[in-house]
């Protein structure tokens, strides 16, 4: 028991170094992970899809897909897997870490890039480096998927307008025969410049444990 205890602590320390989470946070997330997976080693799509709170989320599919996307796991692989272990789970979660006071400017910049890359990968489903109009339309459609028919009608128009906007701000001069293939990562960075993703794209991971965690568990 004692040996396994130290081993897990050791493993946690490894993960903490890799992901930047604190040990407490990792412990919390591990509990959650076990709860979701039903005490299995890995987690599958079904596990995530069965989270009741997610049921109302219009972009549920993309969120779940992002967890199983190998691009988001700090590896150079491409494609998606069917099951992820705790480490991969943590890797995906680590994209949502808030910056803290100690992060330097360069680190912040790297963090921003990383977060934006995560978003970009969510949109760029076929991993060709651009978000094409079709992909963008899909995103907006999903966003509006909760609002029925009006949503679907408007989605196309909105995506088109948005794409037009990107094209016109990034490549202001195009002949009618030019073709804007899609949003590249650079353009993506540029259009989201005003949103200050580095500070916005985060959630608060619980540091202190158990009581709230339990409460959350019992509800879900």
Partner 1 sequence: MPSRTGSHRPAGIGKSLSERGLLLLIVLVLLEGSVLPLGAASSPDISHKEDLDKHKVPEENYTKKAFPVLDLDYHHVHTPFEVSLWVLLASLMKLGFHLIPRLSGIVPESCLLITVGLLVGGLIKLAGEKVPPVLDSKLFFLCLLPPIILDAGYFLPIRPFMENLGTILMFAVVGTLWNAFFVGGLLYAVCQIQPANPSILHNIELLPCLLFGSIVSAVDPVAVLAVFEEIHINELLHILVFGESLLNDAVTVVLYHLFEEYSGAGTVSVLDCVLGVISFLVVSIGGVLVGAFYGILTAFTSRFTSHTRVIEPLFVFVYSYMAYLSAEMFHLSGIMALIACGAVMRPYVEANISHKSHTTIKYFLKMWSSVSETLIFIFLGVATVDGPHAWDWTFVTVTVILCLVSRVIGVIGLTYVINKFRIVKLTTKDQFIVAYGGLRGAIAFSLGFLLDENLFPMRKMFLTAIITVIFFTVFVQGMTIKPLVELLAVKKKQEAKRTINEEIHTQFLDHLLTGIEDICGHYGHHHWKDKLNRFNKKYVKKCLIAGERSREPQLIAFYHKMEFKQAIELVESGGGIKLPSAVPSTVSMQNIQPKKPPTAKPAERVLPQLPKGREEEIRKILRSNLQRTRMRLRSYNRHTLVADPFEDGFGDLLMKKQKMIELEKKIHDMNNYLTVPAAPPDSPTMCRARLASGKDTDFKPAQQHKGNTICPDPQAYSMKPTSDSVPTIHVDLASPQSPDSVNVMDEFKRASKKRDEEDQGLMMRPSTGLRHAGEADGGKEQQKLTRCLSDPGPSADEEEDEPFLP
- 3-class SS of residue 125: coil
Residue 171, Cβ neighbours under 10 Å: how many? Answer: 11
Q: CB nearer to partner 1: give 6 or 212.
A: 212
Question: Residue 179 interacts with partner 1 (CB under 8 A)?
Answer: yes
CA separation for the pair 26, 190 (Å, rounded): 33
14 vs 165, which CB is nearer to partner 1? 165
**Site membership for partner 1, residue 16 (CB under 8 A):** no
Q: How far is the CB of 6 from partner 1 (least distance, A)?
A: 27
Residue that has been written with the tokens 């909105």 in this structure: 158
User: Considering only residues 56-95, where is the footprint of partner 1 by CB under 8 A?
Assistant: 56-60, 62-63, 67, 93
The residues, ordered by sequence, that sit 6+ positions from 127 with a Cβ below 8 Å of its Cβ are 71, 78, 121
Residue among 32, 45, 74, 117 that touches partner 1 (CB under 8 A): 32
The Cα 29–Cα 203 span in angstroms is 13
> Of residues 120-159, which lie at the interface with partner 1 (CB under 8 A)?
122, 132-134, 139-140, 143-144, 146-148, 150-151, 154, 157-158
């Amino acid at each position: 028991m004692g040996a396994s205890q130290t081993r897990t602590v050791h493993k946690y320390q490894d993960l903490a170094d890799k992901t930047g989470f604190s040990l407490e946070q990792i412990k919390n997330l591990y509990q959650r992970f076990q709860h979701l997976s039903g005490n299995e080693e890995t987690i599958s799509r079904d596990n995530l899809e069965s989270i009741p709170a997610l049921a109302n989320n219009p972009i549920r599919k993309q969120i779940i897909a992002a967890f199983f996307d190998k691009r988001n796991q700090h590896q150079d692989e491409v494609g998606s897997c069917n099951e992820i272990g705790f480490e991969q789970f943590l890797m995906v979660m680590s994209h949502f870490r808030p910056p803290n006071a100690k992060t330097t400017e360069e680190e912040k910049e790297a963090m921003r890039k990383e977060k934006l890359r995560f978003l970009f990968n969510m949109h760029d489903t076929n991993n060709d480096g651009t978000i094409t109009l079709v992909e963008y339309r899909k995103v907006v459609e999903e966003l509006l998927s909760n609002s029925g028919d009006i949503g679907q009608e408007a989605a196309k128009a909105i995506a088109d307008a948005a794409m037009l906007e990107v094209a016109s701000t990034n490549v202001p001069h195009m002949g009618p025969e030019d073709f804007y293939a899609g949003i590249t990562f650079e353009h993506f960075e540029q259009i989201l410049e005003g949103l200050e993703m580095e500070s916005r794209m985060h959630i608060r991971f619980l540091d202190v444990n158990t009581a709230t965690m339990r409460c959350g568990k019992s509800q879900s």
